[in-house]
Chain A
Amino acid sequence: MTAFILKRLGIGLATLVLASIVVFAVMEILPGDPAQLMLGLNATDDALQALRNQMGLNDPVLWRYFSWAGGMLVGDFGNSYTYSSPVIELIGERAIVSLPLAVISLLLSTLIAIPVGMFAAARRGRMADTSVMGVTQLGVAIPNFWFALLLIYVFAVWLRLVPAGGFPGWSGGIWPGVRSLLLPAVALALPQAAILARVTRSAMLEVLGEDYIRTARAKGMPRRVVLWRHALRNALIPVLTIMGLQFAFLLAGTIIIENVFYLPGLGRLVFQAITQRDLIVVEGVVMLLVASVVIVNLAVDLTYALVDPRLRARA
């Protein structure tokens, strides 16, 4: 088991290093001079040179890569060109919105999807199954911003239960913050839940055809009990894989929802940084996302081993 974890950690670190090289290289190739952007079109050549020197843009490529990568190791992601504040602070301000949003959405989507998928699998081919699968088909097809608008209309405009947008921060306590994240989390969770429910259903169906399900039924346990005790855990591996992918998406791919709800999240930060050529912020956020994907994958791999003793043995 220790060997397994060490190996996975090694692979994760290698992924991070490789990603940092790719990210850095891409940013090098992209046109646009940060110094020029900061000083505007009318800047003199002398001023530009001075700023370039100050920002270290004239140093050799390798030197710049290592000082950037080395800085990240100690938490220094550099300074934003447009905001003139440390990138790590910008990311921190946004992550306290995006991270809770992603966690709440993933929880919601899992809580909806797994029972729904199991329910459909248990009633394979019957009316209930067909209708549930029809609904999930819709859920996959309808974009999440449409859900978002619908939710705003119903819960914010009509019922006035939650705010329609904006984020009050966490300083006023947990509840106001969570309250303003509820609608966006639901809007994000529904399409994810639809996908996850379909995955759960097909994984369950495969497991339900296995011999050991028949063995369990032959012990005299009702179908429902067998479903929870014997089938679910065996069906979890594909479900966990998809959940890992979804979490990574929820962390970074929420820009549209953030815009709909005026949330100051990572998605908007990276979008603004790209439009303003604030490349150092883009680099920082991308690296953070790579790191979170690596961590989530490591967690998923470890969970596999928890779920399936055969993987533990091989590990």
Chain B
Amino acid sequence: MSLLEIENLQLSIGGTPILKDIDLTLETGEVMGLVGESGSGKSMTALTVMQLLPHAAKASGRVTFDGIDILAAPEDAMNSLRGDDIGMVFQEPMTALNPVKTIGEQVAEGIRWHTGANRADAEARARAILDRVGLPEKQFPLTRYPHELSGGQRQRVVIAIACALKPKLLIADEPTTALDVVLQAQILELLRDLVQEDRMGLLLISHDLAVVTDMADRVTIMRHGEVMETGETARTLSQQKHPYTRQLAEASVHIPERRTKAGADDDALLKVEGVVKDYPIRRASLFGPPRHFRAVDGVSFSLAKGQSKALVGRSGCGKSTLARMILALDRPTEGSILFDGTELTGKTEAELKASRRNMQVVFQDPYGSFNPRHKVERLVAEPLHLVEPQPPPAERRERVAQALVDVGMSPSDMDKYPHEFSGGQRQRLSIARSVITRPRLIVADEPVSALDVSIRAQILDLFADLNQRLGVAYLFITHDLTVARAITDQVLVMHEGRIVEEGETDRVFDHPRSDAARALVDAAPDLERAISRKLAAAQ
């Protein structure tokens, strides 16, 4: 008998079918990767096992955990399974912990609930598991609150909660998606070790094929609520028999076709010199001297016309702060930023208007960056207020139509509302908004990291195409090296506020010289390398 057996699982929420005929088995000590794009039903499958589905959900079929019929189990029985025999780790570490309780309380709580241990014993066990997940007592006493911890540290606390009672089954739903690559590698290693130590079964849910390939013994690939393919990881991904598996694998290593035409450096469009940004932080005492945190520390670089440059680094390294200063949304403490020969620092909004017209931005979240009550025409036309003289209404519509065509959408889309579009289409709309003024530079902050791999491939193609056709230069801010490799000629590696390495993207990533760059490259998931490692291990 397997640890977890799912047979013919059907799930509907409020009458809408979500899962169809799901079959899945997981043995004790085995790692099963559950892969699929958003909306494929992977999280719902996990929540069915936990019986933490939304109210209107109706499941049928059979789910057996350790001989217990989960779908028929009463709530009391589920309560004694959850947190004891089945642990779960969630995607978003920043919000997964209760902000008003200490980490000690939160870890000890489950231990006390299930074992009836007294406070002191439960706290001793909580201490031990927190030590085990890499949060030693000296820096992370039980009395710490979640807001005093970084994202990676919080995820370790969540893992400690899930593994405190050595569950038989651990479900990890996109446990590293919100973390940078170096943290991702550390957290995955921790999960792998914990699972091996206690012979847990691990159901690892991810959209990232490379992550799953490295971790899982077997994979199940889902799409639109159905299982497409299931099998041993190395074989499934090396043979790619199922067309959808092949499609996913190809999309995740997709590199758009691009003729490299890096301009000469004296042809600089953007010149950043000695830029420093200090943020004030809380004083040590009431009358202590004011203190500063140096987010950006003496950064200089230049970007040529039509060039595509990546700015990579771990979260918190200062890359977004640097981008805000380049976009003149924030003033540098020191240094100068020249855009197309014009100094940006210390200018008024009126003086910046011309520069803003030539410099646009694309953000990560295609959902959050549009006002849902406005039509596409108005949303895409927003940057036109920077154009002087103001174009008449007929010309505005024409320019919106042109921008929509530029990004592969139809002019008739301009009378729709943002909610009528998918995530990928919305990201096209935000790109349309950024190209409508025909800018010479687009700063893109993680523009594809919220997108599924197949959509990501299309958006990368679009960026490559616009670079060729309109000659627009890019500054691509990302922590994803695959994306940087796919779309940029040059790369800047940022670490603790400084640029520690720069050069041609391929060369830097193939032969990193700085420690920071090497750490990024080593930690970055790479599907091809992962498959060959798996195959070698299998032989």
Contact = CB atoms under 8 A, between A and B. Distances in A.
A212 B82 contact: no
Contact of B52 (A218, A229, A234): A218
B80 interface: yes
Contact of A211 (B95, B109, B110): B95
B98 interface: yes
A221 B95 contact: no
Interface string A302-315: 00000111100100
B261 to A, nearest CB: 46
Interface in B199-244: none
A26 interface: no
Contact of A219 (B90, B100, B109, B286): B109
A221 B79 contact: yes
Contacts of A309: 99-100, 145, 147
A2 B285 CA distance: 10
A73 interface: no
B84 interface: yes
A222 interface: yes
A219 B165 CA distance: 10
B286 A222 contact: no
Interface string B314-345: 00000000000000000000000000000000
A111 B162 CA distance: 36
B114 interface: yes
Contact of B114 (A215, A216, A220, A313): A220
A309 B99 CA distance: 8
Given A220-B113, A221-B79, A222-B75, A215 B97 contact: yes
Contacts of A233: 100
A310 B147 contact: yes
Nearest to B84: A220
A217 B100 contact: no
A287 B165 CA distance: 59
A201 to B, nearest CB: 17
Interface residues of A, number: 24
A230 interface: yes
A214 B286 contact: no
Contact of A313 (B50, B78, B98, B147): B147
Contact of A212 (B76, B79, B98): B98
Nearest to A313: B147
Contacts of B161: 215, 219
Given A230-B101, A308-B99, A218 B145 contact: no
B88 A218 contact: yes
A174 interface: no
Contacts of B98: 212, 215-216, 230, 234
B278 interface: no
A215 B75 contact: no
A110 B286 CA distance: 37
A219 B113 contact: yes
A214 to B, nearest CB: 6
Contacts of A310: 99, 145, 147
Interface string A214-252: 111111111000000110011000000000000000000
Interface in A284-315: 307-310, 313
A212 B100 CA distance: 11
B158 interface: yes
A210 interface: yes
Given A212-B96, A234-B99, A308-B100, A220 B83 contact: yes
A74 interface: no
A3 interface: yes
A217 B52 contact: yes
- The residue in A220, A308, A310 that gathers the most chain B C-beta atoms within 10 A of its C-beta is A220
B41 interface: no
B7 interface: no
Contact of B286 (A3, A218, A234, A313): A3
B92 interface: yes
Interface in B106-127: 106, 109-110, 113-114
Contacts of A221: 79, 83, 109-110, 113
Nearest to A217: B52
B36 interface: no
B455 to A, nearest CB: 25
B87 interface: yes
Given A220-B80, A222-B79, A212 B95 contact: yes
Contacts of A211: 90, 92, 95-96
Contacts of B90: 211, 214-215, 218
Contacts of B466: none
B80 to A, nearest CB: 6
A264 B112 CA distance: 54
Nearest to A306: B100
Contacts of A229: 109
A218 B55 CA distance: 16
A308 B80 CA distance: 30
B386 interface: no
B97 A220 contact: no
Contacts of B76: 222
B300 to A, nearest CB: 35
Given A2-B286, A219-B83, A212 B147 contact: no
Interface string B44-85: 000000101001000000000000000000011011111110
A218 B106 CA distance: 12
Contacts of B109: 216, 219, 221, 229
Contacts of A218: 50, 52, 82-83, 87-88, 90, 162
Interface in B143-163: 145, 147-148, 158, 161-162
Nearest to B162: A218
A212 B113 contact: no
Contacts of B79: 220-222
A13 B284 CA distance: 27
A114 B158 CA distance: 30
A308 B97 CA distance: 13
Nearest to A216: B98
15 contacts: A2-B286, A211-B90, A216-B98, A218-B50, A218-B82, A218-B83, A219-B161, A220-B80, A220-B81, A220-B113, A221-B79, A222-B79, A230-B98, A234-B98, A308-B99
Interface of A: 2-3, 125, 210-212, 214-222, 229-230, 233-234, 307-310, 313
Interface pairs A-B: 4 shortest CB-CB: A220-B83, A219-B110, A219-B83, A220-B82
